Amino acid sequence: MPISQITSNSITNFTITTNDVDFSTNTGGLSLPTGNTTQRPSSYANGSIRFNTTLSSVEFFFDGIWKPISEVSPSSIEYLVVAGGAGGGGSQETVAAAGGGSGGLLTGTLAVVARSSYTVTVGAGGNGGTGYGIRGSNGSNSIFSSFTSIGGGGGGSFAPLFSGISGGSGGGATWQVGTGGSGTPGQGNSGGAAPSPGNTGQGGGGGGGAGGPGGSADNSSNGGNGGVGSASSLSGSSLNYAGGGGGGGGAGSTPTLGSGGTGGSSPVGGSGGPATVTPATTPAAGNGLTNRGAGGGGAGASAAPVYTIKTGGNGSAGVIILSYSDVYANLTSVSGGLTYTFTNAGSKKIYTFTAGTGTITI
C-alpha cells in the first residue's frame, strides 16, 4: 500500500507491503530516538532501536539489554602487568639462603586506538638456586604496550657473601651481607636484611613484595617473611599478586634451629625452608603461586655434622590482565604466541594472558 504523506511528519516515497516497509526510493535519512547511555529506557520491546550518543552507535534492545548493532572498539583499557618472580637462593651449610623478590607490578588505564596493535609479553619466573653460594635467578620482565614491569631479583646465597639481587622487588640478603636487593620505584620494594657479622643468627632475609619490603631475619636464625603483595580485582575476583619469598631458617643457633619465613600474602609468595639436623632436603622451600609473579622461598640451612645441598623455591610467572566494558567489541585479534583466557563477567570483558609473547589488535 503506497503512502505519500503522514500528517505533521512528512514522509514520502515509501511503500508498506504485507511484511516490509520500503524506503529504497528515498535518498534522505531516518531519524532515530537519540540519547546517552543513562537515558536508555529500562524496558522496551525486543528489536527496538535507538542512537546512543555516549557510544556513537546505533543499539537495539533484546532480552532486557541494550546492545550495539555494530560493536565499536574500546577507547581505553584497564591493565594489570605483573613480571615474573625470582627464585630463592640455595644452601648447603649452616647459613640459610634468602627469599626471591616478586616481579614488579603496574596497573592503570591506557587510551587505545581502534585497529592498532599492542605488544604483550608475560615474564617467566626465575629458578631457585641449586646449592651453596648459588643465588636464585631473576624473573623476566612483562610488557604491555609501553609499560614494562621488571622481573624480581634473586634471593641471596651465602659465600662468597652474596646479597640479594635488585629487580622489580629485590631479593633478600644472607648472613653478614646486611641489606637486600633494591626494588624498582613504583613497582616493588627492597629485600629483607640479614644479621651482620658478629651476630649468631644465620637466617635469610625475605624477598620484597609489591606491597611492602621483605622482612629481616632475626638473631635466632629465623628467616624473614616475604614482602606482602598487592590486591587487584581486574580478573573479576580480588586476588593478591607479587608477594615476596620467605627467607630460609638458619642453623647457627643449634640445637635451636631457625624456621623459614612466611611467603608474602601467603600462599602467594613461597615459604622459606626450615633448618634441619638430619641429612634431608625436606621440608623444602616453597615455590611462588602460579601466575602471580611471586618470589620463591630461600633454602633452609643444614646443621653440622651433615651438610645437605638444598634448592631454593622457584619464582612464578607473571600475568597480564586487560579489562574493559562489555558494550564494546572483542579484541580484533590475538597472535598465536600468547596463552590466554577470555571471560565476560560483571559487565566486563577480561583477557588474562599467562604465557608467551605477541601482539593484540584492538
Distance, in Å, from the CA atom of 101 to the CA atom of 156, rounded to the nearest integer, reads: 10
Give mean pLDDT, residues 75-82.
97
pLDDT digits (tens, 9 = 90+) for 63-73: 888 877 766 88
Check: CB of residue 48 under 8 Å from CB of residue 114: no
Burial class (CB within 10 angstroms; exposed 0-12, middle 13-18, buried 19+) of 215:
buried
39: which DSSP letter?
G
- Among residues 190, 191, 184, which one has the least CA distance to residue 206? 191
Residue whose entry in the numeric block shows the C-alpha cell 634448592? 311
* pLDDT given at position 267: 96
Residue whose entry in the numeric block shows the C-alpha cell 500528517? 7
Distance, in Å, from the CA atom of 264 to the CA atom of 171, rounded to the nearest integer, reads: 13
* pLDDT given at position 20: 64
- Please tell me the least confidently modeled range out of 6-15, 87-96, 100-109, 210-219: 6-15
* pLDDT given at position 5: 44
Q: DSSP for 115-170, please give it.
A: T-EEEEEPPPPPPPP-STT-PPPPPPPEEETTEEEPPPPPPP-TTTTPPPPPSSSP
| 34: CB partners within 8 A, 6+ apart | 50, 51, 53
- Among residues 352, 353, 333, which one has the least CA distance to residue 343? 352
Distance, in Å, from the CA atom of 319 to the CA atom of 286, rounded to the nearest integer, reads: 20
Q: Which three cell numbers stand for residue 165?
A: 639481587
Distance, in Å, from the CA atom of 113 to the CA atom of 118, rounded to the nearest integer, reads: 10
Secondary structure class of 38 (helix, strand, coil):
helix
Q: Are strands 49-52 and 34-35 parallel, antiparallel or unpaired?
A: parallel
Q: Which three cell numbers stand for residue 297?
A: 622461598
- 208 pLDDT above the threshold of 80: yes
* pLDDT given at position 23: 66
pLDDT digits (tens, 9 = 90+) for 286-309: 999 999 999 999 999 988 777 888
Identify which of 47-56, 195-204, 229-238, 272-281 has the greatest average pLDDT: 229-238
* pLDDT given at position 7: 44
**pLDDT grade for 252, boundaries at 50, 70 and 90:** confident
Check: CB of residue 263 under 8 Å from CB of residue 270: yes
Give strand pairing partners of 341: 352
Give strand pairing partners of 239: 232
In the chain, where the domains are located: 2-68, 71-362
Secondary structure class of 16 (helix, strand, coil):
strand
Query: In terms of pTM, does the model score above 0.85?
Result: no
- Please tell me the least confidently modeled range out of 137-146, 172-181, 208-217: 172-181
CA atoms within a 13 Å half-sphere pointing along the CA-CB vector of 96:
51
